[in-house]
Structure 1
Amino acid sequence: MNRALSTPPAVPSGILSRAPQPVLSAAQGLLLRPWEPADARVFLSAYQDDEIRRWHTRRPLTEAHVQEWFDAYRQDWEREKGGHWAVARNDGEVLGRIATRNWNFDDGIAGVGYWVLPAARGAGVATCAVTALSAWALDEIGFYRLHLDHSTRNHASCRVATKSGYLLEGTKRSAAVHDDGRHDMHQHARIREA
């Protein structure tokens, strides 16, 4: 369906899919890199962690299922729907996951999500990853607004959002279902500086 916009898209179509998904540098010597088939075991093991399970109800069940997710991640990039990265040390050790999804090129808006493995928690890994991804999406790609939400009970995620420059905008009542029932969700956002 053809449609006319009164304003040009904030992010031109094709700007991302024409190139391979980039590896992004983050503080503390961290890298955000596309997921590789060899990461399936650590990815699957992350969803055995009680804290990750507490906040993420969509979970892979087997390594084959993880590979299907990785294939979907590659397709998201090719179709300009999202980008999914492993948060890793220079030696390749995976510490977490970060993604930007639901790309809206017309309005220049995208969502952000993340988790960190237990051994890497409390060391600023999530904050470094969110900060690096946000700088890339806002300053290099041209998105105007990035948003993330988390359960109002997830105080660690709230700290990560705030430390990464995401202002708390409000509470979405009963906006998500977790294993223990419905949760209110905090909505945070970061916008590109003019």
Structure 2
Amino acid sequence: MNSCISTLLICRKFMNDARSYVPGWVIDSLIESKLNKRFDHERYGLKPKHRVMGAHPTVNDELPNRIACGTVRVKPNIREFTETGIIFDDGSHVENVDEVIFATGFKFHFPTVESGKLIPVHDNVVDLYEYMYPTETADHNTLAVIGLIQPIGSIMPISEMQARVFFENLFGQHKIPGAEEASRQEKFKFL
């Protein structure tokens, strides 16, 4: 609840006007102090390299509890995949991995998926048909990027809908166009 109140406060006209007179680092420091009283981001390996107002905020009341009780474990960057597991940058490894969720954070690229070639990012833009399918692989319809969106509200309901569309497509209930048509439609999306 406190994070919602903080978000509302920084969006109010008063705060917008105050930002004209108060240095950004002061505002960032105040907000970071308030947020870290509830959840120490550095302790759990979630402190970004930028200041709090330097990127689109993510608010999740459940994540701190999940990390604290161990149902979610924060790991460093992936160095490489093995046949059945993952080796991380710190040398630790996990075996018998069934699923990988890429939470790339604030760096917008996918270097561990075919060295960044399968989902190419150019000028911080990725061509995803319907905000999900890489246009270059649309002929195969077996790879989707779920949750690569920035809504004003919650991302989870949208991600759930994307997952449903992906499985409808995968099992033939829905069909996306081939690579050429998907690419053509993407070019006209914002016109």
User: TM-score of the superposition, structure 1-length normalised?
Assistant: 0.26
Whose helix fraction is larger, Structure 1's or Structure 2's?
2
Larger strand proportion, structure 1 or 2? 1
**TM-score normalised according to structure 2 size:** 0.26
Q: Which has the higher contact order (CA 8 A, sep 6+)?
A: 1
